Structure 1
Amino acid sequence: MIRITGLIFIILLAFGCNNGDKDTVTAEMVKNPVSGKADNKQMEMPEITFIDENSDNPKYFDFGVIIQGERVVHTFRFKNTGNDDLVIRSTSSTCGCTVSSYTKEPIAPGKTGKIDVSFSSAGRKGRQHKAVTVLTNAQPASKKLVIEANVVVPN
């Protein structure tokens, strides 16, 4: 009985592996200009580009030395350098001391928007490194913003 059950299992396994092409998804079927071959080579996609004339790294900001208990805010500016409306879906931070707000309406190609990142240094001391993840409808969908501060305790 065990041999028959084993034989049936092997037969089902062999016939269960269908290598037919009719159910296969190919790269040509995917309409994603990043991961597949799209029929429309001019596919419209938004693109988020962070801008800051005063910095070589517009996705990073250092508040420098701040006093414990201080709340500081930095505005990250960005531009839609793609050719379709850019939408920020959400932002999230690595801790509750860092809060962000952003432009809610779609950003047309060539237009700019902003993300305000607020850091509360209450109860913190020393070098602080915090990240904010920005999720958009662009490719790649996720971008990371970083803020830093050196929090000192008042005498």
Structure 2
Amino acid sequence: MSNYKKASWGNSYNQGFQKQNNGYPNGGNFQGNGGYKGRPQTDVKKSGAVYTRMKKGKFEGQMCVNAWRKTKNGLQTASAFPVDGVEHIGAESKKTFVRMAVEVANKELGISQTYWCLMQKESQKIFIKELGLVISPNGNGVTSSGKRVKGFFGKVF
């Protein structure tokens, strides 16, 4: 009778163990990130933009933008400010645009350059045509350090 209980206990133990980990190390949980079960790498936000309404000065009430993005060559930043208070209307699209001066800098490489751009007033998107980049208020997420950020600064898709 003691052999029967021992065999019974051994079989149920092995069956439960095999069901629990599917016979593989780490429970068969192969996620491609070393078994780390946290947030996948694709969820980490690598860019952001902060839109601020100007409170004083010649362009009171208009938007200025500070944006950042993480690149292979280091951190890239952009600062955009209105050039004139004049609103321009597109001939074909009939959308309203505001002229902006955007300074794009890469601190790592020590490069800084200014571009003349247009911001579509309705969507508040700024297109930097020469670089193929866009700054947008859309998008939110969490950086690798856990900080919540909004906006997008990156390549036009």
Query: If each structure's helix is expressed as a fraction of its own residues, which one has the higher value?
Result: 2
Query: Is this a same-fold pair by TM over 0.5?
Result: no
TM-score w.r.t. length of structure 1: 0.30
TM-score w.r.t. length of structure 2: 0.29
